[in-house]
A and B are shown apart, each in its own frame.
Chain A
């Protein structure tokens, strides 16, 4: 029966999709599977990881990173702390900067629109390595940034050598504590190998310099996404808002932003993923220093594998990072979901279910409700 059906040619179907399946399998599924295996093995980096000399050691690598007190866990926690502050600083700022640039450049009466669009997008096209090197010079102890700060009488720090955290500096400045001798209630208890003092350091000066660079570089890319979103906004809607007497700010908040909601969701998601995976800047500029304050999970993973020769831990860090990004983006999508739309959907579903249900059930239910109340 089946084989005679001219609509169903399974063999041909598989044949046509096989190139895609093979490419995905070889370059995506197999490497991920291999990395997962390495993270569960004691592979030392010589020879094939699936040869007989390599032993399965269960979750030992994950234990060393997450459970056992030691250097591996301490370094991973430091990298999480750094990245947490990094994400907290970069994602909102780059999103807001990109949105404002897009709205400004979407103004139909702006002269030289094309020039500005190219100019703002330019940093995103230039290789991040080249930009990183440039920033190394800009933020050097006697570099351009400090010279400019000098005009205003500010004695700039030696950016990439300064490991002091911003929260520490702030507290020191307002007299809350002294960086040289931190209060004992903050140093004594330690959580996952780091004291409260270390957890609440804030991003270091060195990390802040990197954050500025990344915001500057990526804002252009996301500006492009917002510009594309704004092209879809019908002029009539905005005019209608104008007629209703809405001012500029009200139009922005009540017309533009709701219209851009899907784009904002996309930009924030991409921002989360990109910032948690940050690697290039650390590799080129700081190698995790000063005092490990620019260590990130991605760079730590690289370092564990290639410098320390601990391939299992390197792979395990990569999977832990994957889990974190997955959980965070899922949470963020759930938080930023369109509440009206999902409420509407749920209501529709409810109505459909009610219709499908036999009347008897509904009757029983109403009776039960009546009794219990």
Chain B
């Protein structure tokens, strides 16, 4: 009898301990959940607010510039701001949301907005003078008719051309391609020996530009249904596949490079498709390579480029949303955006700052131009895994059955969009 009691006591004690631990976890502040959305009143701190800002910094220059701008606002408004640099943005944000104490304000990628909005993690707001942002950017952060946050800055894809090879092939400025046919032609001309005409990284973030140029997109306008197997998408992919078969296009991996910029820098590529971030890489790693930048050529349905952007997300769990939005307003004035542009080379998301930016950085004109017609990333919840699968299939585009590939994308996408 006694023996049995002892045997029961041990698991019982462990069970009790774990129940205690669980209730301890559930105790503080989880109950006051907000679901986010524009109907919510912004919370405001009593007295001065202590804001935490989480950023994914590209380097020392960006961190210093953001810290300085935030400190300026803190000084003026009498609040406190702590700028934290994330090592792994997704993970640190997820931990914050799960623990109920996320950073008040954070960088948020356009591809993540729908997911975070659905999960109720975002406080929707509009910054001052919202109409001034590029319409394509407002669109990129809109999900279910709500614009969730203010675009921080943006970048688009352009065509980089190696000047020396261009001239060696007897080409002039007149020959800079403006249509896909011309692009295929010059790529063929430039392909010689170890050098491939056009090299870019695999995946939707590059190949997608050709889909946009052909008037297609992976999802329909409302992001409710996949349109992968549509004629427009397939003709865009077919164009890439054909030119790869010709040997004048290639993926970076095929020429021993990790990304388009590396292939371009090592001169295994005469042209590549990257955004304005390639400038830093070229001046640091390959200062001897001369190049010019052009807009991406037009497809059958007009110009097509892809647009990447991040916004200033404000957490629905934040206790000082009003102050956070004020801080965003301070960080998004045209003057401040130009300061950021100078400090770490991002393009301002406000049209009011565009003119000054273009005169300060005339060589970025092709990238800025993309702001008018660029297309943001796939913006629907739960699509990450589906897009990742498409990316991995696009790696094998040269030997793939495109129809079958896009049908499988469509069935995967419908499965998550219907939920």
Cβ contact within 8 Å between B33 and A51:
yes
* B contact residues around A310 at 8 Å (CB): 382, 385
The answer, among B18, B97, B396, for a CB contact under 8 Å with A25, is: B18
**A110 → chain B closest CB, angstroms:** 42
In the complex formed, the residue of B with least CB distance to A156 is B256
Interface residues of B in 95-137 (CB under 8 A from A): 97-98, 100, 115, 118-121
Please tell me if B336 contacts chain A, counting CB pairs below 8 Å. no
* B contact residues around A309 at 8 Å (CB): 94, 115, 119, 382, 384
Q: Given the complex of chains A and B, what is the CA–CA distance between A141 and B392 in angstroms? A: 20
User: Contacts A51-B33, A142-B256, A307-B384 hold; do A46 and B121 have CB atoms under 8 A apart?
Assistant: yes
Please tell me if B253 contacts chain A, counting CB pairs below 8 Å. yes
* B contact residues around A34 at 8 Å (CB): 22, 25
**B281 → chain A closest CB, angstroms:** 16
**A174 → chain B closest CB, angstroms:** 20
Q: Given the complex of chains A and B, what is the CA–CA distance between A21 and B266 in angstroms? A: 60
The answer, among A14, A181, A304, A306, for a CB contact under 8 Å with B91, is: A306
**B247 → chain A closest CB, angstroms:** 15
Please tell me if B257 contacts chain A, counting CB pairs below 8 Å. yes
**B261 → chain A closest CB, angstroms:** 14
Cβ contact within 8 Å between A292 and B392:
yes
Cβ contact within 8 Å between A47 and B392:
no
Cβ contact within 8 Å between B25 and A71:
no
Please tell me if B31 contacts chain A, counting CB pairs below 8 Å. yes
Encoded as 1 (CB less than 8 Å from any A CB) or 0, chain B from 310 to 351 comes to 000000010000000000000000000000000000000000
**A331 → chain B closest CB, angstroms:** 28
Cβ contact within 8 Å between A290 and B395:
yes
Q: Given the complex of chains A and B, what is the CA–CA distance between A305 and B415 in angstroms? A: 19
Encoded as 1 (CB less than 8 Å from any A CB) or 0, chain B from 275 to 314 comes to 0000000000000000000000000000000000000000
* B contact residues around A14 at 8 Å (CB): 9, 13
Q: How large is the interface on A (under 10, 10 to 19, 20 to 34, 35 or more residues)?
A: 35 or more
Question: In this complex, which of B18, B25, B252, B399 has the most chain A Cβ atoms within 10 angstroms of its Cβ?
Answer: B18
Interface class of chain A by DSSP: loop
Chain A-chain B contacts (Cβ-Cβ < 8 Å), number: 124
Cβ contact within 8 Å between A291 and B395:
yes
Please tell me if A238 contacts chain B, counting CB pairs below 8 Å. no
The answer, among B20, B26, B386, B389, for a CB contact under 8 Å with A51, is: B26
* B contact residues around A45 at 8 Å (CB): 94, 97-98, 119
Cβ contact within 8 Å between A75 and B119:
no
The answer, among A48, A163, A180, A307, for a CB contact under 8 Å with B100, is: A48
User: Contacts A45-B98, A306-B90 hold; do A29 and B389 have CB atoms under 8 A apart?
Assistant: no
The answer, among A24, A51, A307, for a CB contact under 8 Å with B30, is: A51
* B contact residues around A33 at 8 Å (CB): 18, 22
Cβ contact within 8 Å between B33 and A53:
yes
Q: Given the complex of chains A and B, what is the CA–CA distance between A348 and B256 in angstroms? A: 65
Please tell me if A2 contacts chain B, counting CB pairs below 8 Å. yes
Q: Given the complex of chains A and B, what is the CA–CA distance between A290 and B31 in angstroms? A: 43
* B contact residues around A29 at 8 Å (CB): 14-15, 17-18
Please tell me if B21 contacts chain A, counting CB pairs below 8 Å. yes
Interface class of chain B by DSSP: helix
Q: How large is the interface on B (under 10, 10 to 19, 20 to 34, 35 or more residues)?
A: 35 or more
Cβ contact within 8 Å between B256 and A25:
no
Q: Given the complex of chains A and B, what is the CA–CA distance between A289 and B202 in angstroms? A: 11
User: Contacts A21-B14, A25-B17, A30-B18 hold; do A50 and B25 have CB atoms under 8 A apart?
Assistant: yes
In the complex formed, the residue of A with least CB distance to B119 is A44
Please tell me if A161 contacts chain B, counting CB pairs below 8 Å. yes
**A17 → chain B closest CB, angstroms:** 8
Interface residues of A in 4-36 (CB under 8 A from B): 14, 18, 21-22, 24-26, 29-30, 33-34
Q: Given the complex of chains A and B, what is the CA–CA distance between A163 and B394 in angstroms? A: 12
* A contact residues around B100 at 8 Å (CB): 47-48
**A359 → chain B closest CB, angstroms:** 32
Question: In this complex, which of A71, A74, A181 has the most chain B Cβ atoms within 10 angstroms of its Cβ?
Answer: A71
**A46 → chain B closest CB, angstroms:** 5
Interface residues of B in 225-262 (CB under 8 A from A): 252-258
* A contact residues around B7 at 8 Å (CB): none
Q: Given the complex of chains A and B, what is the CA–CA distance between A49 and B392 in angstroms? A: 32
* A contact residues around B25 at 8 Å (CB): 30, 34, 48, 50
Please tell me if B189 contacts chain A, counting CB pairs below 8 Å. no
* A contact residues around B91 at 8 Å (CB): 306
Q: Given the complex of chains A and B, what is the CA–CA distance between A45 and B381 in angstroms? A: 14
* A contact residues around B386 at 8 Å (CB): 71
In the complex formed, the residue of B with least CB distance to A290 is B395
Q: Given the complex of chains A and B, what is the CA–CA distance between A13 and B21 in angstroms? A: 22
Q: Given the complex of chains A and B, what is the CA–CA distance between A26 and B385 in angstroms? A: 33
**B386 → chain A closest CB, angstroms:** 6
Please tell me if B146 contacts chain A, counting CB pairs below 8 Å. no
Cβ contact within 8 Å between B94 and A25:
no
Q: Given the complex of chains A and B, what is the CA–CA distance between A49 and B30 in angstroms? A: 10
In the complex formed, the residue of A with least CB distance to B121 is A46
* B contact residues around A307 at 8 Å (CB): 90, 384
Please tell me if B403 contacts chain A, counting CB pairs below 8 Å. no
* A contact residues around B392 at 8 Å (CB): 289-292
Question: In this complex, which of A26, A75, A162, A179 has the most chain B Cβ atoms within 10 angstroms of its Cβ?
Answer: A26
* B contact residues around A305 at 8 Å (CB): 94
The answer, among A22, A44, A49, for a CB contact under 8 Å with B17, is: A22
The answer, among A26, A46, A51, A161, for a CB contact under 8 Å with B119, is: A46
The 6 closest A-B pairs by CB, nearest first: A141-B256, A25-B17, A161-B253, A30-B21, A48-B30, A30-B18
Apart from A75-B389, A142-B266, A162-B253, what are 11 other A-B pairs with CB-CB below 8 Å? A26-B18, A29-B15, A29-B17, A44-B118, A47-B97, A71-B386, A142-B256, A158-B253, A289-B392, A291-B396, A306-B94
Binding site for B on A (CB under 8 A): 2, 14, 18, 21-22, 24-26, 29-30, 33-34, 44-51, 53, 70-72, 74-75, 140-142, 158, 161-163, 179-181, 289-292, 303-310
A-B contact pairs, 9 of them (CB 8 A): A22-B17, A24-B14, A30-B21, A46-B121, A51-B30, A71-B412, A140-B258, A158-B253, A309-B115
